[in-house]
Amino acid sequence: MVEKRPKLLLIINMKSFKSTAWLLPQPVLIIGTYDKEGKPNAMNAAWGGQWDMHEIIISLGSHQTTDNLAVNPEFTVAFATAETMVASDYVGIVSGRNTPDKMEKTGWTSEKAPNVNAPLFKDFPMTLECRVKQKIDESETGYYLVAEIVNILCDEKYLAEDGKPDVEKMELIIFDPIHHTYIQLGKKVGKAFSDGKKMK
């Protein structure tokens, strides 16, 4: 039997919080760029997502990365893992603007990405190669960056039997904006566009 509870009671059991950036879950994106001399840089971004089938969006502040994109509008987006977590956080709290050895500190190895003029950090299982398409609401504090996904690279170690990237193998981390922690993704629990059919 379905229990009938007055709506008021349900609201009393919920705690309210004022509006803030708590959309869940948030990715840990490592944005790789070259400066005007071709020196690699990386930053951490959580405010990003899929924009269209072949496009992503990132809410970008004013950083070394922003300076780099102004001279060279191509970049990579790697997905941070448990193994790269400490250095991924480091590139999110230190700027290439005032820390010339920022990338040396990470210990990451990079080479030029095959399809864009940006560094490919080889310590990550999967990376998007991207090109800036549009800067929305641009000001001196940053802009919303819409970028085309030119190509996707996945280390062969992380491929599933069907030849596509296997997310479960990657030990990806997400950002928890509530307690400012990183959480490792867990196990697959269902099949999208499929399990729901049981209820049709």
Ligand X SMILES: Cc1cc2nc3c(=O)[nH]c(=O)nc-3n(C[C@H](O)[C@H](O)[C@H](O)COP(=O)(O)O)c2cc1C
Task: Write out the residues near ligand X by the rule CB under 6 A.
Answer: 41, 43-47, 59-61, 63-65, 89, 92-97, 175
Largest CA distance in the chain: 70
- Nearer to ligand X by Cβ, of 159 and 177: the residue is 177
Outline where the chain has alpha helix (H). 7-12, 64-71, 85-93, 102-106
How far is Cα 23 from Cα 27, in angstroms, rounded to an integer? 10
Kindly state the smallest distance separating residue 120's Cβ from ligand X, in Å: 17
Kindly state the smallest distance separating residue 47's Cβ from ligand X, in Å: 3
Kindly state the smallest distance separating residue 101's Cβ from ligand X, in Å: 12
DSSP state of 147: E
- Nearer to ligand X by Cβ, of 62 and 115: the residue is 62
Which residue, judged by CB position, is nearest to ligand X in the bound state?
Answer: 92
- Nearer to ligand X by Cβ, of 46 and 126: the residue is 46
- Nearer to ligand X by Cβ, of 49 and 196: the residue is 49
Which one, of 78, 152, 89, lies nearest residue 121 by Cα?
78
Contact of 73 with 132, CB cutoff 8 Å: yes
